[in-house]
Amino acid sequence: MSPARFVLFAAVAIAACAPPPPPAPDVAAITKAIEAQNATFVTALEKGDTVAMADHYQDDAMLMLPNAPAATGRAAIMSMGAGFLSAGSISAFTLKTHDVVAVGDYAVETGAYEWTFTPKKGTPAPDKGKYLTLWHKQADGSWKLVRDINNSDLPP
């Protein structure tokens, strides 16, 4: 066998032994799962339930809100939420997913939010802005937040 044929044969044999590529993620199904998680997240915050809100985050997650240090870990995220909600309440909260990009067990969501924060003393303050989240598929098939950042579209 000539060296050129050997190299060609070896390349074909190696390619034939390679595992098939993983199936493409079902982005529509992932988006639906994320939107369902977002709905229960909104409900938890509107009820002031920081335990249910924090349950949407993986243990090692990071929440990065404007004008505040990042909260790392579910306990810190729950504490940040409790501190925020001790000053008032959230209402008229909506999350709108714009798109989801999925690779393997991770998905990146971009979207927009609107809500009204009503301080215990003061007038309601509506806000709207955008967010970027990184989700991780759990062993049970559910999705949890790994990174969460948002910022307002309104002037300071």
**Which tens digit of pLDDT belongs to each residue from 78-128?**
999 999 999 999 999 999 999 999 999 999 999 999 999 999 999 999 999
- Inform me whether the pLDDT recorded for 21 exceeds 90: no
pLDDT at residue 151, as a whole number:
95
Cα 67 to the center of its chain, rounded Å: 20
Sign of the dihedral defined by the CA atoms of residues 142, 58, 53, 106, in that order: negative
pTM: 0.85
Q: Rounded mean pLDDT of 29-36?
A: 97
Among the listed residues 93, 109, 104, 130, the one whose alpha carbon sits nearest the alpha carbon of residue 33: 109
Determine what percent of the chain is predicted with pLDDT higher than 90: 82
- Per-residue pLDDT band for 24 (boundaries 50, 70, 90) equals confident
Q: Rounded mean pLDDT of 30-46?
A: 97
- Per-residue pLDDT band for 141 (boundaries 50, 70, 90) equals very high
- Inform me whether the pLDDT recorded for 60 exceeds 80: yes
For residue 69, give both structure tokens: 């240090």
